[in-house]
Amino acid sequence: MATTVGDIVTYLQGIAPLYLKEEWDNPGLLLGNQGDPVSSVLVTLDVMEGTVDYAIAEGISFIFSHHPLIMKGIKAIRTDSYDGRMYQKLLSHHIAVYAAHTNLDSATGGVNDVLAEHLQLQHVRPFIPGVSESLYKIAIYVPKGYGDAIREVLGKHDAGHLGAYSYCSFSVAGQGRFKPLAGTHPFIGKRDVLETVEEERIETIVEGSRLGEVITAMLAVHPYEEPAYDIYPLYQQRTALGLGRLGELATPLSSMAAVQWVKEALHLTHVSYAGPMDRQIQTIAVLGGSGAEFIATAKAAGATLYVTGDMKYHAAQEAIKQGILVVDAGHFGTEFPVIDRMKQNIEAENEKQGWHIQCVVDPTAMDMIQRL
Protein backbone atom coordinates (compact mmCIF):
# COMPACT_ATOMS: atom_id res chain seq x y z
CA MET A 1 0.00 0.00 0.00
CA ALA A 2 1.31 3.44 -0.95
CA THR A 3 2.32 5.89 1.76
CA THR A 4 -0.10 8.83 1.79
CA VAL A 5 0.00 12.46 2.81
CA GLY A 6 -2.25 11.48 5.71
CA ASP A 7 0.31 8.93 6.94
CA ILE A 8 3.05 11.57 7.06
CA VAL A 9 0.72 14.14 8.65
CA THR A 10 -0.30 11.73 11.40
CA TYR A 11 3.34 11.07 12.23
CA LEU A 12 4.29 14.77 12.21
CA GLN A 13 1.38 15.66 14.49
CA GLY A 14 2.65 13.05 16.92
CA ILE A 15 6.06 14.75 17.00
CA ALA A 16 4.67 18.29 17.31
CA PRO A 17 0.99 18.18 18.36
CA LEU A 18 -1.06 21.10 17.12
CA TYR A 19 -2.25 21.93 20.64
CA LEU A 20 1.29 23.20 21.35
CA LYS A 21 0.97 26.04 18.83
CA GLU A 22 0.65 29.68 19.79
CA GLU A 23 -2.82 31.18 19.24
CA TRP A 24 -1.74 33.35 16.28
CA ASP A 25 0.09 30.55 14.46
CA ASN A 26 -1.02 28.46 11.46
CA PRO A 27 0.73 25.07 11.41
CA GLY A 28 -0.61 21.86 9.89
CA LEU A 29 -1.36 20.62 6.38
CA LEU A 30 -1.61 23.88 4.43
CA LEU A 31 -1.74 22.52 0.89
CA GLY A 32 -2.56 19.09 -0.44
CA ASN A 33 -4.84 16.08 -0.17
CA GLN A 34 -4.61 13.60 2.72
CA GLY A 35 -5.17 10.72 0.32
CA ASP A 36 -2.45 11.59 -2.20
CA PRO A 37 0.53 9.21 -2.40
CA VAL A 38 3.95 10.30 -1.15
CA SER A 39 7.23 9.00 -2.57
CA SER A 40 9.61 11.63 -1.20
CA VAL A 41 9.78 14.35 1.45
CA LEU A 42 11.73 17.63 1.30
CA VAL A 43 12.57 19.17 4.68
CA THR A 44 13.17 22.92 4.84
CA LEU A 45 12.95 26.00 7.04
CA ASP A 46 11.06 28.14 4.52
CA VAL A 47 9.05 27.43 1.37
CA MET A 48 10.42 29.77 -1.28
CA GLU A 49 10.16 29.59 -5.06
CA GLY A 50 13.58 27.94 -5.28
CA THR A 51 12.34 25.26 -2.87
CA VAL A 52 9.29 24.62 -5.03
CA ASP A 53 11.31 24.50 -8.26
CA TYR A 54 13.72 22.01 -6.68
CA ALA A 55 10.83 19.85 -5.48
CA ILE A 56 9.32 19.80 -8.97
CA ALA A 57 12.64 18.97 -10.64
CA GLU A 58 13.27 16.10 -8.22
CA GLY A 59 9.73 14.71 -8.27
CA ILE A 60 9.16 15.43 -4.58
CA SER A 61 5.57 15.06 -3.42
CA PHE A 62 5.65 16.40 0.18
CA ILE A 63 7.35 19.46 1.66
CA PHE A 64 7.83 19.80 5.41
CA SER A 65 8.67 23.35 6.47
CA HIS A 66 9.14 25.01 9.84
CA HIS A 67 7.68 28.36 8.76
CA PRO A 68 4.10 28.15 7.44
CA LEU A 69 3.64 28.78 3.73
CA ILE A 70 0.31 30.44 4.57
CA MET A 71 0.12 32.45 7.78
CA LYS A 72 -2.88 34.73 7.27
CA GLY A 73 -6.03 34.66 5.18
CA ILE A 74 -5.54 34.82 1.41
CA LYS A 75 -7.70 37.40 -0.34
CA ALA A 76 -6.46 36.72 -3.87
CA ILE A 77 -4.20 34.31 -5.73
CA ARG A 78 -2.46 36.15 -8.55
CA THR A 79 -0.18 33.94 -10.60
CA ASP A 80 1.77 37.02 -11.64
CA SER A 81 2.85 37.44 -7.98
CA TYR A 82 5.60 35.56 -6.12
CA ASP A 83 3.26 33.68 -3.79
CA GLY A 84 0.69 33.07 -6.51
CA ARG A 85 3.29 31.44 -8.75
CA MET A 86 4.32 29.14 -5.90
CA TYR A 87 0.74 28.11 -5.16
CA GLN A 88 0.11 27.42 -8.84
CA LYS A 89 3.25 25.29 -9.16
CA LEU A 90 2.55 23.35 -5.97
CA LEU A 91 -1.07 22.63 -6.86
CA SER A 92 -0.39 21.73 -10.48
CA HIS A 93 2.31 19.25 -9.43
CA HIS A 94 0.28 17.83 -6.51
CA ILE A 95 2.89 18.74 -3.91
CA ALA A 96 1.62 18.78 -0.32
CA VAL A 97 2.98 21.36 2.13
CA TYR A 98 2.96 20.83 5.90
CA ALA A 99 4.28 23.22 8.56
CA ALA A 100 5.21 22.72 12.21
CA HIS A 101 6.03 26.14 13.65
CA THR A 102 5.51 27.22 17.26
CA ASN A 103 4.25 23.72 18.06
CA LEU A 104 7.70 22.43 17.02
CA ASP A 105 9.32 25.21 19.07
CA SER A 106 7.63 23.88 22.23
CA ALA A 107 7.65 20.16 21.43
CA THR A 108 10.01 17.72 23.10
CA GLY A 109 12.88 17.18 20.68
CA GLY A 110 11.89 20.29 18.74
CA VAL A 111 13.63 23.54 17.82
CA ASN A 112 14.73 24.55 21.30
CA ASP A 113 15.70 21.11 22.55
CA VAL A 114 17.90 20.65 19.48
CA LEU A 115 19.41 24.11 20.03
CA ALA A 116 20.15 23.20 23.66
CA GLU A 117 21.75 19.93 22.51
CA HIS A 118 24.07 21.77 20.13
CA LEU A 119 25.21 23.94 23.04
CA GLN A 120 25.65 20.82 25.21
CA LEU A 121 23.36 22.09 27.95
CA GLN A 122 22.45 19.84 30.86
CA HIS A 123 19.28 19.63 33.00
CA VAL A 124 17.26 21.24 30.20
CA ARG A 125 13.75 22.55 30.95
CA PRO A 126 11.35 25.20 29.53
CA PHE A 127 11.75 28.74 30.84
CA ILE A 128 8.56 30.27 29.36
CA PRO A 129 5.49 28.54 30.83
CA GLY A 130 3.05 26.92 28.42
CA VAL A 131 -0.63 27.81 28.24
CA SER A 132 -3.14 25.51 29.92
CA GLU A 133 -6.16 24.45 27.91
CA SER A 134 -9.40 22.79 29.03
CA LEU A 135 -9.88 19.16 28.08
CA TYR A 136 -13.11 17.33 27.29
CA LYS A 137 -13.99 13.67 26.99
CA ILE A 138 -16.41 12.78 24.22
CA ALA A 139 -18.29 9.48 24.14
CA ILE A 140 -19.90 8.51 20.84
CA TYR A 141 -22.37 5.67 20.27
CA VAL A 142 -22.08 4.01 16.86
CA PRO A 143 -23.50 0.79 15.35
CA LYS A 144 -21.22 -2.22 15.18
CA GLY A 145 -18.96 -2.12 12.13
CA TYR A 146 -18.76 1.68 11.88
CA GLY A 147 -16.34 2.38 14.72
CA ASP A 148 -13.19 2.53 12.59
CA ALA A 149 -14.61 5.33 10.43
CA ILE A 150 -15.41 7.37 13.54
CA ARG A 151 -11.99 6.74 15.12
CA GLU A 152 -10.24 7.74 11.90
CA VAL A 153 -12.03 11.08 11.61
CA LEU A 154 -11.44 11.83 15.31
CA GLY A 155 -7.72 11.21 14.89
CA LYS A 156 -7.49 13.27 11.72
CA HIS A 157 -8.97 16.23 13.59
CA ASP A 158 -6.43 15.92 16.42
CA ALA A 159 -8.68 14.32 19.03
CA GLY A 160 -7.05 11.67 21.18
CA HIS A 161 -3.62 13.22 21.67
CA LEU A 162 -1.89 12.01 24.85
CA GLY A 163 1.70 13.23 25.07
CA ALA A 164 3.59 11.81 22.11
CA TYR A 165 0.71 9.46 21.20
CA SER A 166 -2.05 10.24 18.70
CA TYR A 167 -5.34 8.52 17.73
CA CYS A 168 -5.88 7.42 21.35
CA SER A 169 -9.36 6.12 22.20
CA PHE A 170 -11.21 3.53 24.27
CA SER A 171 -14.08 1.39 23.04
CA VAL A 172 -16.60 -0.93 24.69
CA ALA A 173 -19.43 -2.97 23.17
CA GLY A 174 -23.03 -2.67 24.29
CA GLN A 175 -26.64 -2.48 23.16
CA GLY A 176 -28.51 0.62 22.08
CA ARG A 177 -32.32 0.89 22.12
CA PHE A 178 -34.55 3.36 20.32
CA LYS A 179 -37.94 3.70 18.66
CA PRO A 180 -38.05 5.82 15.46
CA LEU A 181 -41.05 8.15 15.48
CA ALA A 182 -43.10 9.76 12.72
CA GLY A 183 -41.06 11.88 10.32
CA THR A 184 -37.81 10.00 10.89
CA HIS A 185 -35.68 8.18 8.34
CA PRO A 186 -33.83 5.64 10.48
CA PHE A 187 -30.55 4.14 9.34
CA ILE A 188 -31.53 0.98 11.23
CA GLY A 189 -35.03 -0.16 12.13
CA LYS A 190 -38.60 0.85 11.32
CA ARG A 191 -40.86 3.62 12.55
CA ASP A 192 -42.80 2.91 15.73
CA VAL A 193 -40.84 -0.31 16.36
CA LEU A 194 -38.50 -0.54 19.36
CA GLU A 195 -35.08 -1.57 18.10
CA THR A 196 -32.17 -3.17 19.94
CA VAL A 197 -28.87 -2.65 18.15
CA GLU A 198 -25.35 -3.91 18.81
CA GLU A 199 -23.35 -0.71 19.30
CA GLU A 200 -19.92 0.50 20.28
CA ARG A 201 -19.18 3.34 22.68
CA ILE A 202 -16.03 5.21 21.61
CA GLU A 203 -14.33 7.56 24.07
CA THR A 204 -11.52 10.02 23.43
CA ILE A 205 -10.30 13.41 24.62
CA VAL A 206 -10.11 16.74 22.83
CA GLU A 207 -8.98 20.28 23.64
CA GLY A 208 -11.71 22.85 24.15
CA SER A 209 -10.46 24.93 21.22
CA ARG A 210 -11.02 21.97 18.86
CA LEU A 211 -14.21 20.56 20.35
CA GLY A 212 -16.61 22.14 17.84
CA GLU A 213 -14.48 21.11 14.87
CA VAL A 214 -14.22 17.51 16.10
CA ILE A 215 -17.96 17.17 16.75
CA THR A 216 -18.80 18.61 13.32
CA ALA A 217 -16.41 16.19 11.61
CA MET A 218 -17.79 13.24 13.59
CA LEU A 219 -21.40 14.07 12.72
CA ALA A 220 -20.50 14.27 9.03
CA VAL A 221 -19.49 10.57 8.93
CA HIS A 222 -21.79 9.08 11.58
CA PRO A 223 -24.38 6.81 9.95
CA TYR A 224 -27.26 7.67 12.29
CA GLU A 225 -29.81 10.36 11.50
CA GLU A 226 -29.63 11.51 15.15
CA PRO A 227 -26.25 10.42 16.55
CA ALA A 228 -26.01 10.04 20.32
CA TYR A 229 -22.89 11.43 21.99
CA ASP A 230 -21.87 12.82 25.37
CA ILE A 231 -19.42 15.60 26.24
CA TYR A 232 -17.76 15.65 29.67
CA PRO A 233 -15.58 18.53 30.91
CA LEU A 234 -12.48 17.11 32.58
CA TYR A 235 -10.88 18.37 35.78
CA GLN A 236 -7.35 18.07 34.43
CA GLN A 237 -5.99 20.59 31.95
CA ARG A 238 -3.38 20.18 29.26
CA THR A 239 -0.34 22.41 29.68
CA ALA A 240 1.97 23.00 26.76
CA LEU A 241 5.63 22.35 27.49
CA GLY A 242 6.43 26.02 27.00
CA LEU A 243 8.69 28.01 24.71
CA GLY A 244 12.44 28.23 25.16
CA ARG A 245 14.80 26.06 27.15
CA LEU A 246 17.06 26.67 30.14
CA GLY A 247 20.09 24.57 31.00
CA GLU A 248 23.62 24.56 32.35
CA LEU A 249 27.06 24.09 30.86
CA ALA A 250 29.14 21.37 32.49
CA THR A 251 31.93 23.92 33.06
CA PRO A 252 31.52 27.72 33.36
CA LEU A 253 32.96 29.92 30.62
CA SER A 254 33.99 33.55 30.51
CA SER A 255 31.59 35.83 28.65
CA MET A 256 33.74 36.06 25.52
CA ALA A 257 34.46 32.32 25.54
CA ALA A 258 30.71 31.67 25.79
CA VAL A 259 30.00 33.93 22.80
CA GLN A 260 32.68 32.10 20.81
CA TRP A 261 31.24 28.75 21.91
CA VAL A 262 27.79 29.64 20.57
CA LYS A 263 29.31 30.66 17.24
CA GLU A 264 31.31 27.44 16.93
CA ALA A 265 28.61 25.09 18.21
CA LEU A 266 26.09 26.38 15.66
CA HIS A 267 28.67 26.48 12.84
CA LEU A 268 28.14 30.19 12.20
CA THR A 269 30.43 32.71 10.53
CA HIS A 270 29.28 35.54 12.80
CA VAL A 271 27.09 36.39 15.79
CA SER A 272 26.07 39.66 17.45
CA TYR A 273 26.02 40.17 21.19
CA ALA A 274 25.14 42.73 23.84
CA GLY A 275 25.31 42.93 27.61
CA PRO A 276 27.90 42.55 30.37
CA MET A 277 31.17 40.86 29.41
CA ASP A 278 32.57 40.37 32.91
CA ARG A 279 30.45 37.40 34.01
CA GLN A 280 31.04 33.68 34.38
CA ILE A 281 28.54 31.91 32.15
CA GLN A 282 26.99 28.59 33.13
CA THR A 283 23.18 28.90 33.06
CA ILE A 284 22.01 29.54 29.50
CA ALA A 285 18.54 30.21 28.07
CA VAL A 286 17.79 29.54 24.40
CA LEU A 287 14.88 30.43 22.14
CA GLY A 288 15.20 29.78 18.43
CA GLY A 289 13.95 32.39 15.98
CA SER A 290 12.72 35.77 17.26
CA GLY A 291 13.03 35.83 21.02
CA ALA A 292 14.27 39.28 21.98
CA GLU A 293 11.01 40.04 23.79
CA PHE A 294 11.91 37.42 26.40
CA ILE A 295 15.21 38.93 27.56
CA ALA A 296 13.79 39.87 30.96
CA THR A 297 12.12 36.45 31.26
CA ALA A 298 15.44 34.71 30.60
CA LYS A 299 17.10 36.87 33.24
CA ALA A 300 14.35 36.15 35.76
CA ALA A 301 14.75 32.42 35.10
CA GLY A 302 18.37 32.66 36.25
CA ALA A 303 20.19 32.73 32.90
CA THR A 304 23.45 34.65 32.58
CA LEU A 305 23.46 34.12 28.80
CA TYR A 306 20.49 34.15 26.43
CA VAL A 307 20.83 32.79 22.88
CA THR A 308 18.18 33.83 20.36
CA GLY A 309 17.76 35.65 17.05
CA ASP A 310 16.50 38.94 15.60
CA MET A 311 17.86 41.22 18.35
CA LYS A 312 17.28 44.88 17.51
CA TYR A 313 18.98 47.97 18.94
CA HIS A 314 16.54 48.60 21.77
CA ALA A 315 16.60 44.92 22.72
CA ALA A 316 20.38 45.27 23.09
CA GLN A 317 19.72 48.19 25.43
CA GLU A 318 17.39 45.96 27.42
CA ALA A 319 20.12 43.32 27.73
CA ILE A 320 22.47 45.91 29.24
CA LYS A 321 19.77 47.17 31.62
CA GLN A 322 18.86 43.63 32.70
CA GLY A 323 22.49 42.66 33.18
CA ILE A 324 22.31 39.59 30.96
CA LEU A 325 24.53 38.72 28.01
CA VAL A 326 22.46 38.15 24.85
CA VAL A 327 23.89 36.45 21.78
CA ASP A 328 21.99 36.98 18.53
CA ALA A 329 22.85 33.88 16.51
CA GLY A 330 20.29 34.74 13.85
CA HIS A 331 16.79 33.54 13.09
CA PHE A 332 18.12 31.03 10.56
CA GLY A 333 21.11 30.05 12.68
CA THR A 334 19.05 29.15 15.75
CA GLU A 335 16.29 27.30 13.89
CA PHE A 336 17.99 25.47 11.04
CA PRO A 337 19.55 22.77 13.29
CA VAL A 338 16.08 21.25 13.78
CA ILE A 339 15.79 20.65 10.03
CA ASP A 340 18.51 17.99 10.08
CA ARG A 341 16.81 16.46 13.13
CA MET A 342 13.46 16.31 11.33
CA LYS A 343 15.12 14.53 8.41
CA GLN A 344 16.54 11.98 10.84
CA ASN A 345 13.13 11.57 12.51
CA ILE A 346 11.31 10.99 9.22
CA GLU A 347 13.96 8.54 8.03
CA ALA A 348 13.65 6.57 11.27
CA GLU A 349 9.86 6.41 10.92
CA ASN A 350 10.25 5.45 7.26
CA GLU A 351 12.36 2.48 8.34
CA LYS A 352 9.95 1.56 11.12
CA GLN A 353 6.79 1.76 8.98
CA GLY A 354 8.28 0.44 5.75
CA TRP A 355 7.13 3.51 3.84
CA HIS A 356 9.87 3.28 1.17
CA ILE A 357 10.11 7.06 0.80
CA GLN A 358 13.13 9.30 0.30
CA CYS A 359 13.82 12.27 2.59
CA VAL A 360 16.19 15.14 1.76
CA VAL A 361 17.10 18.52 3.23
CA ASP A 362 16.37 21.46 0.94
CA PRO A 363 19.69 22.37 -0.74
CA THR A 364 18.31 25.82 -1.62
CA ALA A 365 17.70 26.72 2.05
CA MET A 366 19.64 29.79 3.10
CA ASP A 367 19.73 32.65 5.57
CA MET A 368 17.66 35.42 3.99
CA ILE A 369 19.93 38.05 5.53
CA GLN A 370 23.27 38.34 3.74
CA ARG A 371 26.26 40.20 5.20
CA LEU A 372 29.55 41.48 3.77
d(CA 33, CA 313): 44
Note whether 304 and 280 are within 8 A (CB).
yes
d(CA 26, CA 12): 15
d(CA 351, CA 156): 23
Q: Annotated binding residue at 335?
A: yes
**57: which residues sit within 8 A by CB, 6+ positions away?**
none
Q: Annotated binding residue at 66?
A: yes
> Which amino acid would we find at residue 88?
Q
Q: Annotated binding residue at 105?
A: yes
State the binding site.
66-67, 105, 331, 335
State the binding site for a divalent metal cation.
66-67, 105, 331, 335
